Amino acid sequence: MFEKLVADSNGEAKRLADFLGTTLSGQILLKGNNTSFTSNKRQDLTETEAWICEHIAGKAMKLAGYNLKNSHPKFQDISDLLITSKRFFLYQIQRVFKRKDKRSSVYAYLKCLFNRPLA
């Protein structure tokens, strides 16, 4: 799972290479720190972050064995949600206009948001 990949990128890459019957050609180079882990301590998502994840990927999360929290957005997270949404929206708009090949992934994301019931 993602947690293992973040905690031990090189070990997980080696296991994946072994599974595929190949070898690694070097080490995994990480860019920056993953903010999900500080001092090897796992940080939990806020209720609003969990709600967003479950809304977008709830079906896939269930299939992968995650237990859904059936979270709801919290009022105190609204400012962070709006700032993050603005950044994400501007990034996606830039992708649509600069790279035609990315339009289908942006379309799929929007379809997921607006045409799908909550998980």
Q: Give the model confidence (pLDDT) of 45-89 as tens digits.
A: 778 888 888 888 888 888 988 888 888 888 888 888 888 888 888
- Tell me the C-alpha distance between 1 and 67, whole Å: 13
Residues 89 and 39 occupy one common structural domain = no
Is the pLDDT at 15 greater than 80? The verdict is yes
pLDDT tens, residue by residue, 77-88: 888 888 888 888
Residues 73 and 93 occupy one common structural domain = yes
Domain count, the chain: 2
Supply the range of the domain harboring residue 7: 1-43
Residues 57 and 36 occupy one common structural domain = no
Residues 23 and 55 occupy one common structural domain = no
Containing H/E element for 97?
helix 78-98
Burial of 114 (0-12, 13-18, 19+ CB in 10 A): exposed
pTM: 0.45
How many Cα atoms within 13 Å fall on the side-chain side of residue 80? Answer: 11
Is the pLDDT at 117 greater than 50? The verdict is yes
The fraction of the chain above a pLDDT of 90, given in percent, is: 0
- Tell me the C-alpha distance between 41 and 37, whole Å: 5
